[in-house]
Every structure is written in C-alpha cells, then in structure tokens.
Structure 1
C-alpha cells in the first residue's frame, strides 16, 4: 500500500496536529494528488508605512518575496499544492496598482523544523519553530538566510529579522485568520500583513468544469 503523503507541517507537529482547529488541519495537512487548496479573502493591511524601506522591498518584490506597499483592504487569493513532500504556495495580492504574486515552498529540516523558501528561486529562506496553542498554529523564525547564486548566506542573529506567523480559525466569522509580522533589530516592524479568508480543497477535474 502506498503511504499517504504528509505535509511538512504535519510531520513537524506529529500528534500535535490534532490540537489544531479541525478547519486548520485541512489547511496544513497535505493537499491530495489531483487537487489544489484554494482560498479567497481580504488583507486588512499589507506592507509597511515606512516608505524609506520601500527601495529595498522593491528588490525583493521583483522576486516574489514581499511587496513594497502599504495598503488596506487588499483582496487576495491562495493556491496550495503538495509536491514531492513540500508545500507549494502561491498568494496573489490585488493591489490598487495591479496584482502581485508571492511564491513559497515549505519543507522539513532534519531537525524537525520547517523551512520556508520565498521568492524565485528561493531567494530568502526562514527556518521556523512550530507550535500549537488554543487551536492556532504559531511559527517563529530561528534563522533567516539569503541565496546569492549558488551561495547560501545565513544572516547573523544580531542582524536577522524575526518572522512571526499565526494562523487561527474564527468560528464566529467562519473564516481563517492570518497574521504575519517581520521585525528587524534596531529598526523594529518592517513588514506585516493580516487578514481573513475562506479555504477549500478543490479537485482539478471539478475545477476544469467549474473554474
């Protein structure tokens, strides 16, 4: 019998995945073959109001990492897939200036942590501790690195930003909530997004019939 594939999150959490809200488990478990995880929602805020940081963010924006923006009520869409035991995600932000796509790929390290490679081709990588509290998933970065050609450079802890992500399900709204912050030493908050969305697993043949 072919083993059922597991997502990096499920492997990192082990039995703790059952502590997640049931609707979150559908999001963080593996997407079945022949299917895609689809979400639609609105970010209440995206980016940073500190415009002097935007020139640096624009370099990362071109590679699909973060957006040089500060906007509110931004519609967005999600597509998740599981490929070769990695969670592949694509987020389309519909800014006032037009759509922008953030791409990432999540894998499991040999130490049991998840590593998220952002942009193309994995320009920025962050290694996370994974925790569950009150049914929500919490990620806190332990290390952040850059890929420069074939060279992988880990940022010293004294200079590395700290990325925190919380995903929880709001039963009252019947929607999933996401809250991400990036804080840099000395500078403080340099990027964030928060919003809510609906999510479902859609089989590709159904998608072709009902796009």
Structure 2
C-alpha cells in the first residue's frame, strides 16, 4: 500500500512540474501575441497619419520579435520604396530575398530600386526572376530593355520576341513620355516591336529595323517614340 501511495505521489509531482513548465511557455506566447497586436495597431495608426518614421520603427520591432515572418520586412521595403529611398529599399529587399527567394514583393522592389540606382546588372536578374515566377509581361519588357541597354542584343531580341508572341501583350499597356511631358499609353506589343527595331538599328540592320517599327505603328499609329525611331532608321 505504501509503495502505491509513493508511486501516485511521484506521478502527481511530475504532472505538477510539467504543468508549471507549460505555464511560462503559454504566458510567453500570449505576451508575444499581445505585443505584436499592440505594435501592429501603432503601425496602422502611423500609416493613417503618414508618420513614416514611427511606422518603420514598429516594423523593425516586429521583425526583431518575429524573425521568421517575412510580411514585416516586405512592408518595410515597400515603405522605403514608396518614399523614394531606393538605397534602403534595395538593401531591405535583398535581405528579404536571402530569407525567401520566392518573395514577389522582394523581387519587384529590388528590381526597380536597383534600376533607379543605375545598377542595371543587379536589377536585371530580379526582373528576370519576377517574370519567371509571375508571368508579368511588363517585367519581361523591362528585361528586354535592360539587356538592350547593356549591349546584350541577342538576349534582348529573344525577350522581345517572347513578348511579341504573347497574346496578352496586345491587351496590356505601357506608358512613354511625350515631348509635351505627358504620358502616352501604347500596347506592350507595340512597345516590344519598337524595341525590336531599336535592337536592329544598333546592329545596323536597316530593313529589319524599319519593318519592326512599322509594325509597331500599325498597332499604335500615334506612338511618338516609334515615329522618331522610324525617322532615324530610314536615315541609316
């Protein structure tokens, strides 16, 4: 009888000890949840009042407290980008991509921020990967244009041909500045054909350049940039 009583006592002590150990863990999880919710509320208020320094500080605190949650660094990178702080945006986006190379937000912000900083060789892989993961045709156009700008003409030609063959390129629009400092929207297909003409102009291939640009103008007859390029091509 005494052995049974002793055994029951040991088991009771063990159960009490386990419960005591679980309580701090549960309390810590609850405390973390409450702190996160409080910081998220402050972040939302800061965004409502356009107080970006406070919003960024709360995101830093949330990132430190929740290192596996990529939503907070995505929001931070976006804040930097929207504020025109392209160096900070690029660095924060690249840090995010080290943790999650599938982050669409990270790829997009890294690509555009690095482009703004003139780092085309670093921006290009992010545009390429963004297109591969999303099928975004504007990213494909940017890929082709950057390849052209970096004198990678055969790669650029391959990119624009992919874009021209895509049926959705006739439906989507892209904006170009005009001489009146306005924005002229044309179809992505017309833009790609114009870029194709520019590539052929660079390669001194006059007939192919004129043909591609004329095809662009058949789609968008008022495309100012294509009109200017056609004049240049005809002078070759």
Q: Which has the higher contact order (CA 8 A, sep 6+)?
A: 1
Compare CA radii of gyration and give the structure with the larger one.
2
Tell me the TM-score normalized by structure 1: 0.21
Please state which structure has a larger fraction of its residues in strand. Answer: 1
Please state which structure has a larger fraction of its residues in helix. Answer: 2
Tell me the TM-score normalized by structure 2: 0.20
